[in-house]
Structure 1
């Protein structure tokens, strides 16, 4: 009998931290969710009128949106973000380009007024291989619907953003620009992400601090290849690159 009691106590001791960790993650997701927005275009003549291009998230006082530069449409399109309302509907807001870093594939969009809480930007320099993180966005939202989707991800590697090509003639234009301006690192994650995730936040499950921006194109070449050939590997641009863009935008 004593042995059973000891085993039960041991199992309870193991389960308690796991329950606490799960509850902590759920609380963080609830805090992060109102800040993660749809990024796309809106035209009366389009069908559907809103075309999702990627994810984004609010920062600061809720008047700026972070996303990927490859998410942005041409100059003739009407760029908007949509934020989830308390009643479950979506509120559409026009945005304007505030700052751009094509090399890091980052963009800052500006709003006329605050539309929600901004997420805190953490220190991406403290991220280590093996860290457990999470990301949120709208994977393949045009097909699956506009629902926030959250995934856990471990940092499997901190790798170079510019990978060497076996054939110099196959270097893409952005890779050549990267060679000229110097290299930087990306977070490689052991998770499957799709093009709709691009621009979403990579955050710490304990605090909700953003340590990276999800990117499905920088290394994979095109949204089409990322969608048709999911590799089980995702990438994120460290938040340090975002901080640099924010400083330049001041």
Structure 2
């Protein structure tokens, strides 16, 4: 028998059997109470679902707004996308051209080589070490019988520029390059007005010359002077162009020349003055006598180019060159040459004094070698002569190497008296130890070319050595 469950009326508390629809005492409806409970539960569920929907909708809407803000500039409209895809299908990539109305122009990126190429108005700047290294291969020491100077390659036909006072009195000269190689040269142009000359060197034909500057340089331009000051070959000194339009007269006429503070001294004459940034030749150095050693002068290259070109195309013959030299001797106002003209040699009855002078010099030379000091023989050599520079250079080269010279014989074998000089010949023997400590014996004959100075003292201007 099924047991019936008892329930109580929520209103009066009367017991009633299960599944009763109304209370037996007060008539309260059990069905309406149950329905009210169900509607309350349903309301809670619907409220939860509604709030969840509102939260989800708010989150999605906020994310869409953020995406629209950050991607606004990159999103293309459907029309543009369709238009571009249509163009890609209709045209190959190689033939497609951007529309000036829809595609912004993009500047073409320059290559590195294009970026480095300057405009025609901008000079190409070079490193100073590169400028000096390249120029030294085309700068030469010029040797004559009694002079030493400098010069530089002017054209690829083998012509070399120098000062007129370097080669005055000579037609055939010797040129020495930076490696010590000597070449024969011939003067084919020289001026008795301007201090310039041109030498032809057949061995240099086909060699590219230095580049020339054909306009005036400015004050403050950094410059490099090349040459052989005091016989120190291939020397470079750096300074500035400190003045323009300096004009004066000596033996030659110097018009509108450059004033520089780069060190220039005897032996530098005829060397090139280079622009310190471009390496172009802007001047021809002239070692003029001045009380201030910080001041030197250089003839502007652009003012002499036409004259030099004329000589290069139509060289002077030997007669014309010689006649110009004679003019120098007649009207010399340049101190160096005036002194040399006065230094005539008249010792026809003084051979003993000459012999003693050379023997004394040889003894002083041995002392100079032992002490590595040029001062022991300097006053017996003619200043600014070939012998002066060669002796100074040699003593400088062997300095500090520990070489030993022991002279065992020095005999005067002959004296040739000439009008303006004497040639004293000697036979010499000496023991020599080189830097490696190895000993050897040398026998030599030498010719000493001797002149007198304005005080009547003997001076050696050239030494010829025969092994």
TM range (shorter): 0.5 to 0.7
C-alpha distance in structure 2 between counterparts of 1:242 and 1:195, whole Å: 22
How far is the alpha carbon of 1:206 from its aligned partner?
Answer: 2.2
- Select which of 150, 156, 161 maps to 2:236: 150
Structure 2: gaps of 5 or more residues: 1-124, 314-467
List structure 1 runs of 4+ shifted beyond 4 angstroms: none
For the 8 Å contact 2:221–2:276, the answer to whether it is kept is no
Report the equivalent of 1:4: none
Q: Deviations over 1:84-112 (max 9, x none)?
A: 23xxxx11111111112232200010012
How far is the alpha carbon of 1:184 from its aligned partner?
Answer: 2.1
C-alpha distance in structure 1 between counterparts of 2:161 and 2:267, whole Å: 14
SS in 2 for 1:196: coil
For the 8 Å contact 1:124–1:212, the answer to whether it is kept is no
Question: Which structure carries more relative contact order (alpha carbon 8 Å, separation 6+)?
Answer: 1
C-alpha distance in structure 2 between counterparts of 1:62 and 1:91, whole Å: 19
Report the equivalent of 1:245: 307
- Select which of 173, 188, 212 maps to 1:79: 173
C-alpha distance in structure 2 between counterparts of 1:247 and 1:62, whole Å: 11
- Select which of 194, 209, 214 maps to 2:265: 194
C-alpha distance in structure 2 between counterparts of 1:82 and 1:193, whole Å: 19
Q: Which has the larger radius of gyration?
A: 2
SS in 1 for 2:202: coil
How far is the alpha carbon of 1:23 from its aligned partner?
Answer: 7.8
**TM-score normalised to the size of structure 2?**
0.37
Report the equivalent of 2:209: 118
How far is the alpha carbon of 1:247 from its aligned partner?
Answer: 2.9
Q: Deviations over 1:130-183 (max 9, x none)?
A: 111111111000xxx4x31111121111133216xxxxxxxx554xxx4xxxx7
Report the equivalent of 1:207: 278
Aligned positions, number: 187
How far is the alpha carbon of 1:78 from its aligned partner?
Answer: 4.2
Report the equivalent of 1:184: 255
Report the equivalent of 1:130: 220
Q: 1:233 to 1:97 in 2, by over 3 A?
A: same
Structure 1: gaps of 5 or more residues: 1-21, 43-50, 164-171, 221-225
Verify: 1:105 aligned to 2:195, yes or no: yes
Verify: 1:69 aligned to 2:69, yes or no: no
